[in-house]
A and B are shown apart, each in its own frame.
Chain A
Amino acid sequence: MTNEEIKIKITEILPAATFDETGEWLNVFVEASAFRSFMEQIRSDKDLDLDYMFCLTCVDWKTHLTMVYHLSSTNTRHCVVVKVKLDRDKPEIETVCDIWRTAELHEREVFEMFGVNFLHHPDLRLLILPDDFIGYPLRKDFEDPINMIKL
């Protein structure tokens, strides 16, 4: 599918979605409130067929956080990037780990590194960091006086 076709399709599913085509792939911006049903629909849509999530991450923009989901289809190989802006003080988003099961570990990683709270995640605990760790290491304002590399 070309980007234009994907755009038409996605607009049908969620008219409020906005697009950004500057990157390699089509970027879709979605509101956090509509996020969960949107993801369910693009996964089950026969034409889009986005069955493979190859990357899930978060970017700290200092004013807000952005969740970035890289999705692809294993049949037609088109890729879509879904982005969701989150409030930096109280980041909350619905989980997608029952849609793409790879998201389970990735969401846990984002949870501890950025402090994003994934609602309805079955097992949201610290995965990498020690249990008594305080802070969100990959946020821009994280300071570790001992281990930080500053050049």
Chain B
Amino acid sequence: MFSLEGLTNFIHEWLNGHLPATFALLAEFVLVGVAAIGLFAVLGLGLVWMERKVAAVIQIRLGPNRIGPKGIFQTSADTVKLIMKESLTPANADKFLFNLAPFVVIIVAMLILVPIAFAKAFQIWDINIGVLYVTAVSSLSVIGILMAGWSSGNKYSLLGAMRSGAQIVSYELSAGLSIITIIVLTGSLKISDIVASQENGWWIFKAHIPAIIAFVIFIIAATAETNRAPFDLAEAESELTAGFHTEYGGMKFALFFLSEYINIFIVCAIGATLFLGGWMPFHVGHWAAFNHIMDYIPSSIWFFGKTIFLIFVIMWFRWTFPRLRVDQLLNLEWKYLLPISMFNVLLMTLVAIMGWHF
């Protein structure tokens, strides 16, 4: 059976056999860094292309179809265009913060990649507070957005950044609470433990209604946290032209754009890990034969399949719903999602204590 675990082990042993331990570690750092950046590029290009194709299907049109088969190189061509463009800095911008902001956003997006399990035993760092790490680091991206909005010296950017700040800080709560509902069951924050706990079925099936409620809340909060429509108030093109990144152009804009898609990937990956078993194949209780057949599908395909399915759902939202108003957005969080998820955590605790889940 094909597995990425063999590949990583092979590289690790080969490097240690040919280099001193310190250099082998350094070489592994470099390899991981290159792989992460490579994944970034592929994800960015792939997801933008996917978004455009999904939009096209929903909107009864073709989407990109000129460059490459089915237009798959369209996004590469766009990237080349963006690199070639001049990056302007407005005259009354705070130059240092203005130039720093896109990097803050992209570095934060990159950092969250660390604990994610892409396949069986294929993870950059199986940190023992994996989920906590993700929630903690992802909230840093709001600093980048506030920085961008404030330093642009543009009123639209400022309004967009303020909206974004209010939005991300609020939705962090219910996203965190819906993550906790699963942590209650697994008893561990470590990603590998969470995945392993779903060996005999995914949590969304095993943990009854509370898990489904938590999953729905998580998807809503994830959409809001990534500033995607219908919660794209920070950008709100028809209201604030482009919100916090109005003044950005060229590659600096591309970094914001890229980080948006990376963030979607990450929240969907977390959602897939917590609720849909991560790389764990579809297992049903004690059906050993069925489970064995499912194991033949490589774990990376399971992981990416689930993640891309969730990404598709989020894209589907975007092309179907109108945008919320800013007060409605906050009402939704503070008056509905937060109380529901607090109650839901209680319910899940009861389920976990009584052992009612499978």
- Physical contact A–B (CB less than 8 Å): no
| Residues of chain B at the chain A interface (Cβ within 8 Å) | none
